[in-house]
Chains A and B, each alone.
Chain A
Amino acid sequence: MGVGVVVVHAPDDAASSHRLAGDRDIEVPRYLDGAALIQAARSSGCDALHPGYGFLSENAAFAKEVAGSGLTWIGPPAAAIESMGSKTGARAAMEAAGVPVVPGTKAESPERLVGPAAGLGYPVLVKPSAGGGGKGMARVERPGDLVRLARLASDQAKQSFGDGSVYVEKLIERPRHVEIQVFADDHGNVVALGERECSIQRRHQKIVEETPSPAVSDELRKRMEAAAVAAARAVSYRSAGTVEFLLAPDGSFYFLEMNTRLQVEHPVTEWVTGLDLVALQLEVAGGRALPPQALEVRRSGHAIEARVYAEDPATGHLPQAGRLLLVREPQGPGIRVDAALEGGEVSVHYDPLLAKLSAFGRDREEARRRLVEALSRFVVLGVRTNIAFLIDVLEHERFVAGDLSTAFLDDHFASWSEPPPGDAALAASALVGGAPSVGRAAVAGPLPDPWTRLGALRLGAEA
Chain B
Amino acid sequence: MSLRSRGRDVGADARRDGDDVVVQRDARSTRWRARPCGDGAWILERDGAQQVVHAIGSREGTWVQADGRAYLVERAAHARTGAAVGSGHVMAPMTGTVLGVRAREGERVEADQVLLVLSAMKMQVEITAGVAGILKELRAVEGQQVEGGSLLVVVEPPR
Contact = CB atoms under 8 A, between A and B. Distances in A.
Contacts of B89: 433
A294 interface: no
A382 B93 CA distance: 13
Interface string B39-61: 11110100000010111111101
Contact of A435 (B16, B51, B65, B78): B78
Interface string B54-85: 11111101111111111111000010000111
A191 interface: no
Sorting the interface of chain A by its residue count into under 10, 10 to 19, 20 to 34 or 35 or more gives 35 or more
B93 A436 contact: yes
A343 interface: yes
A388 B21 contact: no
Nearest to A312: B6
A424 B63 contact: no
Interface string A373-387: 001110111101101
Contact of A381 (B15, B54, B67): B54
A442 B34 CA distance: 30
A420 B127 CA distance: 28
Given A325-B63, A388-B68, A428-B66, A433 B23 contact: no
Interface in A286-321: 314
A441 B122 contact: yes
B87 interface: yes
A384 B72 contact: yes
Contacts of A118: none
A257 interface: no
Given A435-B78, A435-B130, A388 B16 contact: no
Contact of A433 (B34, B40, B90, B126): B90
Nearest to A430: B14
A434 B66 contact: no
B124 A429 contact: no
Contact of B127 (A325, A421, A426, A436): A436
Given A429-B62, A435-B57, 13 more contacts: A326-B121, A343-B123, A379-B54, A379-B65, A381-B65, A384-B72, A420-B8, A421-B66, A421-B69, A434-B57, A435-B58, A435-B84, A442-B124
Interface of B: 3, 5-6, 8, 10, 12-16, 21-23, 25, 30, 32, 34, 36, 39-42, 44, 51, 53-59, 61-73, 78, 83-85, 87, 89-94, 114, 117-118, 121-128, 130, 148-149, 152-153
Q: Sorted from nearest, which 9 A-B pairs have the closest CB atoms?
A: A376-B68, A381-B63, A429-B73, A430-B14, A435-B84, A433-B91, A428-B64, A428-B53, A425-B66
